[in-house]
Structure formats: structure tokens, C-alpha cells
A and B are shown apart, each in its own frame.
Chain A
């Protein structure tokens, strides 16, 4: 009898141990807590970064770039010069062929696949095409982003109206993307990029599909986000946008940084 009890106990112990292991694994993989918080100083630092796409296509070459926290930096340049490549390197969509990329003191040059989600939760990303899910309302679109990154229902209910208010779309939460103008859709996508309160926002031609009025709205929004302390990296080739901003401008030419001016203008 005692022996059977003992056997049962050890069985439970083994199972318990195993369960704990699995549980911890799931927790680590499923809900990566802020394992790596970005430090505010040295927000973005690229040292001798090159990206060569296979087989031998130049993306960027020898880029040295230092972006301080809270800065608003525009990256300009003609088509195919490597602006998007530069942006993709920042949120680890691409890895550099050589050189070092640090984000908030975290060297992401050789970032592991499983750590990329951690990075993405601290960098908001916005694209020219808004990447909204057409069969979900805009509130659901934002809630989806929160759900898949493991947020609790309670927090989702809090955050969704918050970010929709920031982009001034609180009254259109129940609409579907096709029921919104391009500018409004882009605002939804910006709202979505804000759900994790990112310290960095990377926007690759966010106004590329928009008319002047909508472009101005989006730019106002980005400026406001920047004023609240988020570092903004804006990729664009819209002359008016850059000139109106009166912020730092980095010009990319043939994959290299051709000029880097504080309070610059678009010159080509």
C-alpha cells in the first residue's frame, strides 16, 4: 500500500515537473514578457551596415546612422535607392549582410527568429498599403493585433478605443476598411502600430497612396506621435512633406547616405 502510494507520488512529481517545463516553455514562447526592454539612450545606431540581396543586388552599403530618442528623421531618395531596405533593417524584416544595428542598446544584427516578436512589440511599423484585414472592422483589426500578441481581453477593451481616439477615428470603430477613405485607413494602421506604445515608429511611404489633404492629416498625426516622445523614422519621396516638416533629413543614394542634415530640405 505504502509502496503504491510512493509510486503514485513519484509519478505525480514527474508529471508535475514535466507540466511545469511545458508550461514555462509555453509562457516563454507564447507570451514573451519584456525580456529585452529598449533603453532610451542611443535609440537607433547603425555602424557600417551593408545589405546585399542574393545573388548580388545592392540594398544599402556602408551606412552609419545614429538616431537619438525622440527624433523625427525623414529618409528620402529616389526609387530603388535603398530606403525601404534601410527601414526593413530597423524592424528586422531583413538582416544586414555586414555591420551592426543596435536598437535601444540591443544588437539586432544577428537577431534570432524567436526574438523578432520582442522587437516588433517595441517598434511600430506603417506601410504604404495599410495591411488591414478586409473582413474585420477597424476595431477588430486593432483588437486582432492585440490578441495575437497575447494581451488580455481587459486590456484589449481599454487599448482599442484609446488608440482609435488618438487617430481621431473613435466614431468609426465599427466600419470595415473598405468603408473608409485612404487617409482614414492609414490612420487605422497607425493606430494599430501604437498598440504596444512603441518607442520607435517606422513609416515606409505612409502617404504614398494619399492625396494632399490626407497626406497633411497623416503628417500631423505622425508629428503629434513624435511630440509624445516616440522616435519617428519616415521614409518618403514627397518633397512637400519633407520641406514642411523642417526636421532631420537623411538622403539615400545608391544605397549610401549622401547627406544627413538637421532641419533639412528635400534636394535632388
Chain B
């Protein structure tokens, strides 16, 4: 027990005696942890982006001119029966021409040619949204049913959306990979810096260590302060990063929510698991830096 207290005391002494070395090491640990947390935020954001884009994907189905709104509504109903369909909006022929007019309000020539046609050239339109983008193929197959297909003039080309979504997915996975690589690189640098810190700390304390060995201090007692010091660094870094990350996320969350036009969930992601996230980060950081410390001690302490 008394030894444990002394180990703690020595660890703190080491900390203060190499104050600048400690600060540098802690800064590096902070940098690594911040990267990891930025990576986490990016992860949530990219999930949201994909979902956002997917939710926005809608395929319009144009009926022939003269198809009644009731027929269109029937088709819509039968689509709604499908599990995979999120919702179907029916745009009547009148609404369609209104929308067309709105869209081209300041293009006089377009409106003029519409006048020239005289009657409403549009049929009703269905706007289909799927629960999952992957289901579109299936849903649209349902419209191949001859009951409807004869009335359908045109189907928006779904593959355009597919490539768009694929592109979003590629970008987000690249962002993820980049963030992950960055975190890995930082973790590796952390390893090196911790190694060097311990090496220098051993060098600074070589006289004490020499005396310790001479008078029969146990190897455990000589090593433990270094390990504890490193764990202390990790703890300080984790607390600091948590203290920076949580408020930042709280501030940023509303901005992102506005951008995404709905709750983005970064804050709730951190709130739900705050202990687990930071405990895990602390654990992994400690593991890595203790490994590095052990390596340095094996190399330079020779006990």
C-alpha cells in the first residue's frame, strides 16, 4: 500500500520535473484524440448526408395526357400497398401545368409555346419515394404491370440518382478513410513521442534509478511511476478533449441541423454514449502509450 502511494507520488514528481516534456506529450495525445473525435463527427455527418440524399431521391412517373386523376390515384394506392414505398404524391394534370408555369415564370418563350398548345399537355404525375434507395428497382417493376404501363408516358430515369448516391457514398467513405488514416498516423506519432518522453525521463532520472537499483527497489517500483505518468497524460488529454468536444458539438449541432433540414444527431450521438466513447478512447490511448512506455523501458531501463 505504502509502495503504491509512493509510486503515485513519484509519478507526479516526474510529471512536474519534466513539465515541458509532459506538455508536449499531452498535446500530442490531445491532437490524436481530437482527430478521433472529429472522425466520429464526420462519421455521423456522412451517415446523415447519405441518408439525406437518399431521402431526397424521388422518381417521377408521368402518365399520358388524358389519364384521369382517379386512375392516377389508383396507381398511387397500389404503390402505397408495397412495403418498400415511403410515400407517393399525386400531382394532378392541373397542378402539373401550374408547376410548369411556376418553374418557367420568367421564360416568356416557354410560356408562349405552352399557350400555343392551347390545352393542358400534361397528364397526372406520381412522385414516388422509397424507404430505401435500393428498393426503387423493385417498386418501379410494379409499374410494369400492363394495368398501368399502357397509361405511363415516361418514367424518370432512376440510374441517374443511383450514380449520384454512389458518388456520395464514395466521397463519404473516402473522407472516412482519410480521417482514419490521419488518426492512425497521429496514433503512431503518439507512440514515438511517448517513447521519446519516457526515454528522456529515464535519462533525467538515471541517478535516482541507479540508487534505486543499488538499494534493492523492486523492478515493479522502478517501472510503475513511468507507466502511471503516461496514464496520467492520457487521462488529462481525454478530459481536455471531452471538455472541448462536447461543447463544440453542442454548438455545431443546430447549424448542421439547419443545413440538413432536420436533426443531424451529432449531439445525441455523443450524449448517448459519452462515458463509453471517452472511456474507450482513454483505454485505447493508455494501451498504446503503455505499450510504447514498456518498449522504452525495456530498451533504456534494463531492469
Contacts and interface: CB of A to CB of B under 8 A. Distances in A.
Nearest to B10: A148
A148 B3 CA distance: 8
A121 interface: yes
Contact of A113 (B208, B214, B303): B303
Contact of B214 (A114, A125, A134, A153): A125
A118 B216 contact: yes
A87 interface: no
A114 B219 contact: yes
A42 interface: no
Interface string B207-240: 1101111111111111000000000000000000
B155 interface: no
B3 A30 contact: yes
Contact of A150 (B3, B207, B210, B303): B3
Contacts of B215: 120-121, 145-146, 148-149, 192-193, 195-196
B7 to A, nearest CB: 8
A258 interface: no
A152 interface: yes
A139 to B, nearest CB: 15
A105 interface: no
B214 to A, nearest CB: 6
Interface string A187-209: 00000110110000000000000
Interface residues of A, number: 30
A148 B214 CA distance: 11
B220 A29 contact: yes
Contact of B216 (A29, A113, A120): A120
Contacts of A134: 207
A31 interface: yes
Size band of the interface chain B makes with A = 20 to 34
A147 B212 CA distance: 9
A219 to B, nearest CB: 22
A133 B214 contact: no
Contacts of A70: none
Interface string B281-303: 00000000000000000000001
A175 interface: no
A152 B2 contact: yes
A133 B207 CA distance: 7
Contacts of A192: 215
Contacts of A114: 218-219
Contacts of B218: 29-32, 114, 117, 149-150
Contacts of B211: 131, 133, 144-145, 148
Contact of B3 (A26, A117, A119): A26
A114 B208 CA distance: 18
A152 B216 CA distance: 15
B65 interface: no
A149 B219 contact: no
Interface in A159-209: 192-193, 195-196
A257 B89 CA distance: 106
A45 to B, nearest CB: 21
A134 to B, nearest CB: 8
A54 to B, nearest CB: 15
A31 B216 contact: no
Interface string A28-45: 011110000000000000
Which of A32, A133, A148 has the most chain B CB atoms inside 10 A of its CB? A148
A138 to B, nearest CB: 13
B86 interface: no
Given A131-B211, A133-B207, A133-B208, A148 B219 contact: no
Given A121-B215, A149-B217, 19 more contacts: A30-B218, A30-B221, A32-B218, A113-B219, A113-B303, A117-B217, A120-B215, A121-B216, A131-B207, A131-B211, A131-B214, A145-B211, A145-B214, A145-B215, A148-B221, A149-B216, A149-B218, A152-B2, A195-B215
27 contacts: A26-B220, A29-B218, A29-B219, A29-B221, A30-B3, A30-B218, A31-B3, A113-B219, A113-B303, A117-B216, A117-B217, A117-B218, A120-B215, A121-B215, A131-B214, A133-B207, A134-B207, A145-B215, A148-B6, A148-B212, A149-B216, A149-B218, A149-B221, A150-B2, A150-B217, A192-B215, A196-B216
